[in-house]
Amino acid sequence: MAEGAVQNKAQKAYAGPVVANIRRAMARRSVSAYWLAKRTGIDYMTVRRLLDYKTGDVMLSTLVKIAEALEVDICEIVGGRG
């Protein structure tokens, strides 16, 4: 397996539950990546990369902004108990 493929697989394994939780919260509110980017002030391409599993290294401050915009507890995003 190529190094890039291994890295992408590791990123998806790390970010997978977080991204799934963000997507679930977005679906409940019926909002798009564009809406999330505008609401949080996070660059649209950064939001897209996160939702497309292109990054596994997400800052806590970014996740907090997302949780606030989606009106959910940060624990719901990171998978803990709120």
> What's the token pair of residue 8?
């992408």
Query: Domain extents for the chain?
Result: 3-78
Q: What does pTM read for this prediction?
A: 0.81
Cα angle 15, 82, 55 (rounded to 5 degrees) comes to 15
**Per-residue pLDDT tens digits for 26-47:** 999 999 999 999 999 999 999 9
Domain 3-78 grouped into CATH 1.20.58.340: no
Q: Is 78 exposed, middle or buried (0-12, 13-18, 19+ CB in 10 A)?
A: middle
Using the predicted structure, report yes or no on whether residue 14 has a pLDDT greater than 70.
no
